[in-house]
Amino acid sequence: MNATPETQKTVLPLPLPDCSSMVKAIGSPMRWKMLQELSKGEPRTVGELASAAGCNYDNASRHLIVLRKAGLVVQGRGRLYQIPKQYLSATGQPHVDYGHCLLRMDAAG
């Protein structure tokens, strides 16, 4: 019998982000700092990401919209942002693998 338990959820893979949108999105030093913070694997609020990027709340919100539209981050409950787990390194390294691009967040600043 190959029945799947009802409690087991199927996680569908997200499509790869569009390459040109991704390059434009990571081109900003503030957005890069936000991605560095999110590469740690924990969801963060807009305020926490604003602090990490050294900008105010409104600027952080605008930058997060760009990252979300590019498919690099998702917004969850309570206005928490995160990088989808499928893109994060399983080794705990601050690496983000978007399929056609591997970002080594510890190697650039």
List domains and CATH numbers for the chain: 19-104 (1.10.10.10)
Q: Which 8-state DSSP code applies to residue 72?
A: S
More confident of the two residues 54 and 97: 54
Percent with pLDDT over 70 in the chain? 85
Q: What is the pLDDT of residues 68-93, one digit of tens each?
A: 999 999 998 888 999 999 899 887 78
Whole-number CA gyration radius for the chain = 15
How many angstroms separate the CA atoms of 47 and 62, rounded?
A: 12
pTM assigned to the model: 0.80
Where helices occur in the chain by DSSP H, the ranges are: 19-26, 29-38, 46-53, 57-69
| CA-based nearest residue to 38, from 95, 90, 101 | 95
pLDDT of residue 1: 47
C-beta atoms surrounding 51 within 10 Å? 16
